[in-house]
C-alpha cells in the first residue's frame, strides 16, 4: 500500500513518514503544494495525508484541483486551524477526514487505516481470505492462526492483494503500489515476492491469470 505525505514542516514530515513506513506503507513525500499536487496527479496512491497550510499552493487548492481532475484517492487533511468553518471547507473540497494539530501519531495511523480499508470496501481492521488473516492494527499476518514472518515488501504485496481480493491485479499495478517513487522499480521482482508468499500462505491462494496478473482468493475444491 502506497501513501503520499504533503507537509512543509520538515520535522513533522519526517515523523509522519517514519511512523507510516513502520506501519508497513510505502511512503512518498512532498514539502509544498506544487510538488504535492504534481505527485498526487501523476502517481497512484492508496491515500494521501495533506496539510492545508502549504507554501506555493495551499492544501485546499491542491485538493480541489485533484478532485476536479478526477483523482479519487482518500485524503486525510491536517490543519492547525481551530475554526470549524476551515474543517468544513476541507470536507466540502473533497477531503475524507481531518486531524487537527497538534495530534497523536496513533490517531493519524488509525484514520489512515480506516480510509484505506473503506476505499477497498472493508469495514473491519481484520481482513481474511481463507485461512489467511491480516490484522491491520497490529500489522500482523497469520495463517490458520499461526503467525507468518514477512519482509516489508511481502507484507505490502499481501496487504494490497487482501484489500483487493477476488480482483485481477496486474504486475504493473502491484509494482506501483509496492515501492516509493524514488525506488528502482522492477515488475519482475513481483513474481519473486508472489512465489515467496505462495510458500507461506499456500500455493493455491494466489492465482496467476495469464497475460493479466494475479488474483488472491480462497481455493475452490473441485
Whole-number Å distance between alpha carbons of 214 and 197? 12
What is the pLDDT, as a whole number, of residue 219? 58
Please tell me whether residues 114 and 6 are part of one structural domain.
yes
pLDDT at 5: 98
Q: Do 37 and 107 fall within a single domain?
A: yes
Run of H or E residues at 208: strand 206-209
> Cα 122–40–95 angle (5° rounding)?
55
Structural domains of the chain, count: 2
What's the CATH number where 171 sits? Answer: 1.10.10.10
- 130's CB contacts (< 8 A; 6+ apart) are 202, 205, 218, 219
pLDDT at 79: 85
pLDDT at 185: 62
- Within this chain, do residues 106 and 132 fall inside the same structural domain, yes or no? no
Q: What is the pLDDT of residue 43?
A: 93
Give the model's pLDDT for residue 187: 62
CA 12 to CA 220: how far, in whole Å?
Answer: 47
Residue 152 domain-assigned (yes or no): yes
What's the pLDDT at 199?
94
Query: Does 132 lie in the same domain as 115?
Result: no
Q: What is the pTM of this model?
A: 0.86
Predicted pLDDT of residue 190: 87
* Domain range enclosing 21: 2-119
Side-chain half-sphere CA neighbours of 142 within 13 A? 10
> Is 222 inside a domain boundary?
no
Same domain, 111 and 157: no
**Nearest Cα residue to 23 out of 150, 109, 151:** 109
Question: Quick one: 105 and 169 in the same domain?
Answer: no
Same domain? For 130 and 179 the reply is yes
Q: Would you tell me how many other CB atoms lie within 10 Å of the CB of residue 28?
A: 22
Q: Could you identify the residue written with the cell 488474483?
A: 215
Look at residues 119, 138, 163 and tell me which one is the last residue of a structural domain: 119
Clarify whether residues 108 and 182 are in a common domain.
Answer: no
Name the strand (E) or helix (H) holding 97. Answer: strand 97-100
For residue 122, give every residue at least 6 positions away whose Cβ sits within 8 Å of its Cβ, in sequence order, or none.
Answer: 163
Task: Give the pLDDT of residue 222.
Answer: 42
Q: Residues 166, 170, 171, 176: is their CA dihedral positive or negative?
A: negative
Identify whether residues 77 and 143 lie together within a single domain: no
Q: Digits of tens for pLDDT over the chain (222 positions)?
A: 899 999 999 999 999 999 999 999 999 999 999 999 999 999 999 999 999 999 999 999 999 999 999 999 999 999 876 677 878 888 999 999 999 888 999 999 999 999 999 998 898 889 999 999 999 998 899 999 999 999 989 999 999 999 999 999 999 899 889 888 766 666 678 889 999 999 999 888 999 999 899 999 875 544
The 3-class secondary structure across 59-88, one letter per residue, is: HHHHHHHHHHCCCCCCEEEEECCCCHHHHH
2-6 vs 47-51, strand pairing mode: parallel
User: Does 221 reside within a domain?
Assistant: no
The 8-class DSSP code of residue 204 comes to T
Amino acid at each position: 500500500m502506497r501513501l503520499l505525505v504533503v507537509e512543509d514542516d520538515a520535522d513533522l514530515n519526517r515523523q509522519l513518514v517514519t511512523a507510516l513506513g513502520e506501519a508497513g506503507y510505502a511512503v512518498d513525500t512532498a514539502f509544498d503544494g506544487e510538488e504535492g499536487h504534481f505527485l498526487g496527479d501523476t502517481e497512484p496512491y492508496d491515500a494521501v495525508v495533506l496539510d492545508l497550510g502549504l507554501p506555493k499552493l495551499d492544501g485546499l487548492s491542491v485538493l480541489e484541483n485533484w478532485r476536479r481532475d478526477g483523482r479519487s484517492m482518500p485524503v486525510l487533511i491536517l490543519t492547525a486551524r481551530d475554526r470549524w468553518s476551515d474543517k468544513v471547507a476541507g470536507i466540502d473540497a473533497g477531503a475524507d477526514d481531518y486531524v487537527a494539530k497538534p495530534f497523536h501519531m496513533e490517531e493519524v495511523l488509525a484514520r489512515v487505516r480506516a480510509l484505506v480499508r473503506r476505499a477497498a470496501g472493508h469495514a473491519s481492521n481484520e481482513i481474511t481470505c481463507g485461512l489467511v488473516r491480516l490484522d491491520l492494527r497490529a500489522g500482523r499476518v497469520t495463517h490458520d492462526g499461526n503467525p507468518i514472518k514477512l519482509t516489508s515488501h511481502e507484507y505490502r504485496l499481501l496487504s494490497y492483494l487482501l484489500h483487493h481480493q477476488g480482483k485481477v491485479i496486474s504486475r504493473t499495478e502491484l509494482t506501483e503500489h509496492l515501492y516509493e517513487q524514488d525506488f528502482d522499480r522492477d515488475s519482475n521482482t513481483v513474481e519473486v515476492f508472489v512465489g515467496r508468499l505462495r510458500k507461506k500462505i499456500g500455493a493455491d491462494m494466489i492465482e496467476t491469470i495469464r497475460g493479466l496478473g494475479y488474483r488472491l482468493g480462497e481455493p475452490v475444491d473441485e
